[in-house]
Every structure is written in C-alpha cells, then in structure tokens.
Amino acid sequence: MGFSIAISGKGGTGKTTLSAMLVRLLIGKSPQAVLAVDADPNSCLGITLGVEPETTIANLRDDVLKQKIEPGQGIGKLEAFGYACQQSLTEANGFDLLTMGRPEGPSCYCAANNTLRAFLSQLSASYGYVLTDNEAGMEHLSRRTNTDINVLVIVAEPTKVGVVTAHRILELTKSLPMSVGRIGVVWSRSRKQVDLKLDGISVFGTVPYDEAVFELAVEGRSLFELSKDSAAMKAAEGILNRILDN
C-alpha cells in the first residue's frame, strides 16, 4: 500500500496549492510513482500540476448508469466501469492524476461505488505515495471504507476561525470509516509567524503568503514552475519532512 496523505480543510485555505507542492516534492522519494487524487468536486488540482484530465470518475460512473459504457464481450458493466476508471488516469512525469469529479446521477449507486472502492484500494497498492486533495466536508473520505490514511493534514488560515475549524475537522475524523494515523495542522497563507494554541493537534508547519504562488495562480500556471527556493516551496519541504516524520 502506498503511504497515504490526505489534505483537508475549508475551501480557499490553500489545500490545492499545498497538495501540488507536496506532490512535486514526493516525486523521486520512492521507486514507484506518486498518485495524486483530486477528490474535490470542483476539480482544480490538475491546473496546479499542469496536467489536463480527460475525464473524471464521476463522469464514468454517470456513463455506466446511463448505459453509455458498453461492456465488451464476456465482461460485465461493472468490470467495464473498473477498466474505464483505470484508463481515466492522467499520466505525467513522476506522477499520475486521478480526478474524482462531481457525480450528477443518484448518489447511491452501490454496485458502482463498490467497484470504485475496490479499484481505489487496488490502485493505491501500486504507488509509493498517494496524496488526496479533499473537499471541505471530506464527503469522499467518508464514503471510502477500506483504505487507511497514514497522515491527515488539516489546512487552516492562521486565525481564531482557523483554530475553530481545525478542531471541528479533528472531531469529524473520528466518524470516518477508516483508520487515520497522524494528524497535523498547516497554517496557510500566513503573513506573519503566529503562535496559535491548538488542543490535541500538532502543527506540521506554516506556509507563508508567497507572491510568486499568487502570480502563477493568476495565469493558471503549474506550481512546478515555482522556484525551489521560494518561501512557499521551502516551507512545503519542512512540512513534508514532518509529515513523513523524518
């Protein structure tokens, strides 16, 4: 099983930005590739990683529901769906991207969901690291039942609101159906060093507000273009060391 890192937090806190920087830093740390999973229905991890996904798991799931996926000879509808999921991986240099997308059909299509779960756990076995950029409510995580999370990163703004939200997310993790290893907060887009008190959660680090990150975002350019010496990349390096417990 690949070492699994899940990124969570409120919308707009910097989850996708941190995810992309961590994916970049994880490449080469294991002989196997890195799997980046965009689990936010408003998928934008691809933009920050400079790759364009052709389709999403949600689209494929809707296709199988609407019978648009024709099972081949001798294979069933679900098998065809599993195969299509595998084909939907976007391959890039040192990493693959899986985009979950936004399902439009009925939320409970249990057979397809089971196939998806089996696919996801099988998939994570062939990567050294699996990093998931989650949506605010972690709905995707709460539907997954069989892949454990090694480290959960809560991205929060360095304010009182951020502190309150981080604690709420910590509470939420107790109801998740899988085991969660270590949990830590990343203070994101900080304009100064802050010393905020958290109760029962450690801090992996602080990503400073970095003009260079903003400049790239304005033009929709990938974070692979960010200088390794930039304040944000340097901070992400320290954070990754804590995540991996080096």
Ligand X SMILES: Nc1ncnc2c1ncn2[C@@H]1O[C@H](COP(=O)(O)OP(=O)(O)O)[C@@H](O)[C@H]1O
Check residue 19 for interaction with Mg ion (CB under 5 A).
no
DSSP 132: E
Pair of tokens at residue 125: 């076995």
Q: Order of strands across the sheet with 95-99?
A: 90-91, 95-99, 34-39, 129-134, 3-9, 149-156, 180-190, 202-208
Check residue 220 for interaction with ligand X (CB under 6 A).
no
DSSP 209: P
Count the residues of the shown chain that bind ligand X, applying the rule CB under 6 A: 17
- Please provide the distance, in angstroms rounded to a whole number, between the alpha carbons at the two ends of the chain: 19
Burial of 245 (0-12, 13-18, 19+ CB in 10 A): exposed
Check residue 8 for interaction with Mg ion (CB under 5 A).
no
Q: Which does 170 bind (CB under 5 to 8 A by kind): Mg ion, ligand X, none?
A: none
CB of residue 31 to ligand X, shortest distance in Å? 29
List Cα–Cα distances, 128 to 3, 26, 32, 169, 175, in angstroms.
Answer: 6, 9, 5, 27, 27
Check residue 16 for interaction with Mg ion (CB under 5 A).
yes
Closest CA to 119 of 66, 164, 61: 61
Check residue 161 for interaction with ligand X (CB under 6 A).
no
Kindly write out the interface string for residues 178-207 of this chain, putting x where it contacts ligand X by CB under 6 A and - elsewhere: ----------xx-----------------x
Interface pick for ligand X out of 47, 101, 210, 243 (rule CB under 6 A): 210
Q: Give me the residue whose beta carbon is nearest to Mg ion.
A: 16
Check residue 244 for interaction with ligand X (CB under 6 A).
no
Check residue 217 for interaction with ligand X (CB under 6 A).
yes
Residues that bind ligand X (CB under 6 A): 9, 11-17, 188-189, 207, 209-210, 213-214, 217, 232
